[in-house]
Every structure is written in structure tokens, then in C-alpha cells.
Structure 1
Amino acid sequence: MFTTKALTLSALSLSMAIMSSGMASADDIEKKCRIYANTALAQYNVAIKHNCGYGGPVWSNDFMHHYGWCLRGNNHKQVQWGTNLRIKGLKTCKGN
């Protein structure tokens, strides 16, 4: 079970990994994108469990949607944006 706190810690870990990487190799980017997509799905599942009613691409339940977005261009440098947006949404929905 994922809590808002656990997802926040996951997002912080992801952010630290991204910031510390500097010039990321293709393998590093792929790994970060896999983590990002899995985090997005976990956040989606929490939103569903709490009947948050969110939609749109940021709240997609499709792993390949998030993973593919992350791999395109320099999006891997912006994954924190989507993760933080979902964290904010979950906190609002759950009243935390």
C-alpha cells in the first residue's frame, strides 16, 4: 500500500538520483524513466482508491505512456514536475 508520505519519499529519491547524475547515460535515463513510470502508476492507484476523480495524461494508468513520455527528448530532466503534481493532487484529495 502506498501512502502520500511514501510517494513523497519516492519522489525525493527520484529527484536526488536525477540531480546527482549530471550527464546521464542511456541506461541511467532508462532506469529513471522506469522508476518514474512505476511511481506514476502507484500514484494513479492511490488516486483511484480514494476516488479522487483525476484524469488526463498526468493521471494515466498506462505504464508505457509515462515511460515513453520520459524517454522522449529531454523529458527525463522534467520528471519531478509530473511526480510533484500528482503528490499535490493526492494531498488535496486525501486532505493531508
Structure 2
Amino acid sequence: MADFFKDMEQKLSGVISDLGKKTEDTIEIQKIKSDIRSLKRANERDLIDIGRMVYEKFQHGEIRDTDYITFCEAIEKREETIERQEEEIVRIREGR
């Protein structure tokens, strides 16, 4: 009977140790994933800032690369469409 409890204690000890290790691993993995998300968000902010800087240079006639110009012209057309739609909203509201 003493052997039974000894075996049970060892098995229980092993299970608890495994659970502790898995918990530590899970916490470490979550921390790493959080760090990765933070780094990706920082990259997204920087890419947005780069795009904004390129567009501002385009507006001042400082961009010559046709790849950039294509994107900037598309942005410009959308800005014009937005402006027309905002004017339409004003006209609709004033007509009421």
C-alpha cells in the first residue's frame, strides 16, 4: 500500500511539474506574440508616415518616380471625390 501512495505521489509530482512548465511556456509564448504585435504596429505606423511624406513631396512636385506618382494620383482623385461628396452632403442638408 505504501508503494501505491509512493507511485501516486511521483505521478502527481510529474503532472504538476508538466503543468507548471506548460504554463510557463504559454506565458512566454504570449509575451513573445505581444512583442510581435507591437513591432508590427510600429511598422504599420512607420509605413503610414512614409506614405504621408511621399504624398506631401508629390503635392510639392518633388516626386518623379512613376510608381509613386500613380499611387499619389489615385489618392488625389479619391480626395477630390471625398470633397465632392462632402459638398453633396451640405447641399442635401441645406435643402431640408
In the superposition, the TM-score normalised over structure 1's length comes to: 0.34
| Structure with greater proportional helix content | 2
Structure exhibiting the larger radius of gyration computed from Cα positions = 2
